[in-house]
Chains A and B, each alone.
Chain A
Amino acid sequence: MAAPTTAADLVVAPSKPEDNYLTHDKGILSWIFTLDHKRIGLMYLVSVLVSFALGGFFALVVRTELLTPGKTLITHDQFNQAFTLHGAVMVFLVIIPGIPAALGNIILPLQLGAKDVAFPRLNLMSYHLWVLGALFLLASMVISAADTGWTFYVPYSTSTTTAVIPAVFGAFILGFSSIFTGLNFIVTIHKLRPPGMTWFRMPLFLWALYATAVIQVLATPVIGITLLMLIVERLVGLGIFDPSLGGDPVLFQHFFWFYSHPAVYIMIVPAFGVISELICAFSRKPIFGYKFIALSSLAIAFLGFLVWGHHMFTSGQSVLAGAIFSAITFLIAIPTAIKIFNWLATMYKGRIHLDTPMLYALAFLWVFTIGGVTGVFLATMSVNVHLHDTYFVVAHFHYVMMGGSITAFMGGLHYWWPKFTGRMYPERAGRVGAILVFLGLNFTFFPQFILGTRGMPRRYYNYLPEFTGLHQFSTIGAYILGAGFLLTAIYLLKSVRSGPKAPANPWGATTLEWTCQSPPPYYNFHEAPVVNRGPYDNYDKLRFDKKSRGYVPAE
């Protein structure tokens, strides 16, 4: 077992090439009730992408409405509904499940060298819960869409006449979906590692998923109970949150942010993991500062629980509490910056290949850094008083969520696309798409920083004439962004049918998922992989094989 490091472990597992997880069983029921993590992941992926299109549609509606002051397209009530739906769909249906549940589900056991996640049934249940939650959100849309903003603040949510309950119940169910995914991942990583796969031989994506799972398990129950209380508050009038019954609406904010700040790390930490993989693979170089990156994810997960008050500087929180929250928020910049510097150091003197996933990774570095730095502005109490609830905040969180999480998700999607589908996407179109997305992103959201500092409040239907130029700039940026995603959707869909067959290892990457064929066989690994090296060793033991258009072990 303790053989010296050879390239042998990079060999493609020989198997009947026809039999893979996509073809193993046939029929719609073999998908709906599958216990295979790859199929569940793929169903998540499709669902998330469809939701992304829906959320994107609402975003374009909102941006189009803001093209001119006053009414452009929809009424002010519809506007409130549009941005609420946009936020709720993007947060609860897209970003939170996007990387962990969709990409992670497929990749985690493969990278770990396991046959499945620890609890396949629970995994399927998570997906079914996701669908159920999405249906409830949809129900709210159909009945009369909630107009409270994705944060469901009391007393808006206790007094509006729109269908808040289905929307909140949807989010509640989605929370459980997320909890069970997290629980499953933690147990899988603890208990299903194959021989030789020590903690510090795990790819960084797994560290990131692990840290994320910890947050999911520890934070999500709190939002669960909060949303449940909100529902009951509306139904029977508890008087816990509703001020008209003697309740305390600020208590709702505390509960909400106690989850929702950690939740922003549920959104971004897996993205960090993806970026670590991409930067290594496309620099063909082992990661710089492996342990720092791995442990900084855990540090972020931990600190993330202590900063929720930075959303409440203007909610009547004491100055002392504000100062403490502010200081701890600053601390989070440290582990975040550690990652950025290590990624840059990894690229230094690497053989950088500018394939589409790498373009997304580079875009991430740029955009996320801006998002993170502006977060530090916002965490400064005195500045926050000026900027709170302005477009500056909107720009900040889009830079981190859209520019961070979604960009990383797109990078990961392209990176693992050959593994998922067994097909290559067209590289040139991919690059064009990535560049469009990058430009669109900056055009859309950069002007919003300026709008915010000049006092444009968020969630407003109307605005002063002097803001018109910047708003129009932003809207045009949104169209460019939309075009980039549309292009991406088209070529990805086409590639499923007509793309060239993918080799096992198209990128010359070294983590375990690239050692099994694309798409992977039903049971992932025919022989348990025996791991005797770090995840990013052996780049030099691979050579490009012209015939299969992929990398194979040298010698």
Chain B
Amino acid sequence: MESKANEGARVADAAKSHGDDHGHAEGGHGHGAPLQYPYVAHHFDSPQQQFDSGKLGIWLFLVTEILFFSGLFCAYTIYRAQNPEVFYWAHFYLDTNMGALNTVVLILSSLTAAWAVRAAQLGQQKLVKINILVTIACAFTFMGVKYVEYSHKFHDGLLPSRHFDPKHEVWEVEAFKKKHPEAAEAMTRLMAKLEARKATAAVDLEVPHGEPLALVPVVNQVAAAPAEAAEGSAAQATTTQAATAQEAVAQQAPAQEGAAPAPAQEAAQEPATQEAGTAEAAEAGAEGTEEAAPAAPAPVAAPAPAPAPAAEEPILDDDVFLANELRKLTPAEATPLLRAGVLQRQADGPFELVRPKKAGVFFSIYFFMTGLHGVHVIIGIGVWIWMLVRAGRRKFGPKYFGPIDFTALYWHLVDLIWIYLFPLLYLIH
């Protein structure tokens, strides 16, 4: 069928068999006949054939590009499905405003790219150049914004796994504060308390790089409730992380200065005695999933002022103290922390404050995807500059605009990939 069309084009001369407003097979010149078009390569018979070949070629190329990125999207999907809390945790660190700005910039550049093609088809030389220039300017803007974003990330230690060393905890991040003010405030208060205690007590809460935040295994039946409240995907994650948390505890135990050798077990004895007061709160929390949450805080607040248990065991007390404080978080405060995997507890055991274990992987994926995309933008800039030079030589017109058309197609793909990356990385919930 297609070959028929080809033959048709050759034979039918000016007949509008292709229905395009450009480069028909003009004249039925045969194979090898001298070509009257300087821009048709020797091995093509007609401008039409050349254009069609280029078009098919660029589409195939775009297919390979999509497949190239698909590996990364696949890795993204797998890690997100397995570690939803990491993605929830990490997205607070991304600057949505900058991402949104870049999205707008790229969409604008796609518009001007398309306009450049149109202008070339209509032979409006000046407009072609202006549009290409705007496109290039947008591309540079995009890269500039990315540069700012990247340097913030580098500065804050938000790097791929091996070098991952964030300077701020999630509740210290603006985006988190804005979205979950109660949780952020509660954590800030809690940290301040810890600091204060640290100043007086000799127990060191710092943990070596790569370990979870210094935290304490304390059995807390109450916690079961908020954990469930975190619901759905997060609930599953919590169980899978049980092992992780356990490891963390095991690794940490020896590191505790003067701590009893097996805090986990000891702590395990304790809860029964402590829990009477907060158990109800937990119940409340259980029902109070996200929507109902605001109703719950009142009863929980009550036990807060009494850090009594800490007094009973002076050596372990920082840990116990922290755990108790965590337990006192209201569902509204606890839920976001649970979802972000910052607050975790083992299946029926201690409740602790950690950093999600694979948090670094998010930034691996983030840098890899946006970095590769950035490389494509840079390549695009190069190609657009080349197009600008050629447009400057008045190369394009109604009969010959293939290269600009193909560049624009490539550019649309680059744009499109960003349009996927933006929500997948910046806007997840």
Using a CB–CB distance below 8 Å, which chain A residues touch chain B? 114-120, 122, 179, 183-184, 186-187, 190-199, 217-218, 220-222, 224-226, 228-229, 232, 236-240, 242, 245-248, 251, 255, 523, 525-528
Contacts and interface: CB of A to CB of B under 8 A. Distances in A.
A315 B69 CA distance: 25
24 contacts: A118-B53, A187-B53, A191-B6, A191-B56, A196-B3, A196-B7, A217-B60, A217-B63, A221-B64, A222-B71, A229-B75, A229-B368, A236-B162, A237-B161, A238-B161, A238-B361, A239-B364, A240-B361, A246-B360, A523-B42, A525-B32, A527-B30, A527-B31, A528-B30
Interface of B: 2-3, 6-7, 10, 30-32, 41-45, 49, 52-53, 56-57, 60-61, 63-65, 67-72, 74-75, 78-79, 159-163, 357-358, 360-361, 364-365, 368, 372
Nearest to B51: A191
B361 A246 contact: yes
Contact of A183 (B3, B57, B67, B163): B57
Nearest to B76: A240
B364 A240 contact: yes
A236 B65 CA distance: 24
B32 A526 contact: yes
Contact of B31 (A225, A236, A528): A528
Given A221-B65, A225-B68, A199 B3 contact: yes
Contact of B161 (A195, A245, A525): A245
B3 A245 contact: no
A237 B163 contact: yes
A351 B361 CA distance: 65
B161 A246 contact: yes
A224 B372 CA distance: 12
A252 to B, nearest CB: 10
B160 A237 contact: yes
Contacts of A251: 75, 78
A237 B162 contact: yes
A183 B60 contact: yes
A186 B60 contact: yes
A240 B365 contact: yes
A192 B53 contact: yes
Of A122, A191, A196, the most chain B CB neighbours within 10 A belong to A191
Nearest to B371: A232
Contacts of A220: 64
B62 to A, nearest CB: 11
B390 to A, nearest CB: 15
A233 to B, nearest CB: 8
Contact of B32 (A196, A198, A248, A528): A528
A531 B400 CA distance: 30
B30 A229 contact: no
B68 A195 contact: no
Contacts of A120: 41, 43
A525 B31 CA distance: 9
Contacts of B61: 183
Given A247-B361, A528-B32, A115 B63 contact: no
Nearest to B65: A221
Contact of B71 (A117, A122, A198, A226): A226
Nearest to A526: B32
Contact of B64 (A118, A183, A184, A245): A183
A187 B44 CA distance: 12
B364 A225 contact: no
> Lowest 5 A-B CB distances belong to which pairs?
A237-B162, A528-B31, A239-B161, A225-B71, A238-B364
Given A115-B43, A229-B71, A528-B32, A193 B3 contact: yes
B362 to A, nearest CB: 10
Contacts of B7: 195-196
A527 B160 contact: no
Listed residue (B2, B3, B63) with the most chain A CB atoms within 10 angstroms of its CB = B3
Contacts of A196: 3, 7
B246 to A, nearest CB: 15
Nearest to A254: B74
B163 A236 contact: yes
Contacts of A523: 32, 42
A239 B64 contact: no
B162 A190 contact: no
A197 B60 CA distance: 23
A222 B3 contact: no
The CB with the most chain A CB atoms within 10 A, among B30, B31, B65, B162, is that of: B31
B53 A191 contact: yes
B24 to A, nearest CB: 16
A531 B10 CA distance: 15
A195 B10 contact: yes
A194 B9 CA distance: 12
Given A183-B60, A193-B6, A225 B53 contact: no
A457 B74 CA distance: 33
Given A187-B57, A198-B3, A224-B71, 9 more contacts: A118-B57, A120-B43, A192-B43, A196-B7, A221-B68, A525-B31, A526-B32, A527-B31, A528-B32
A222 B65 CA distance: 10
Contacts of A224: 68, 71
Contact of B358 (A119, A226, A229, A239): A239
A221 B78 CA distance: 19
Contacts of B70: 221-222, 225
B32 A115 contact: yes
Contact of A239 (B41, B45, B71, B162): B162
Contacts of B68: 221-222, 224-225
A197 B4 CA distance: 10
B43 A245 contact: no
A238 B357 contact: no
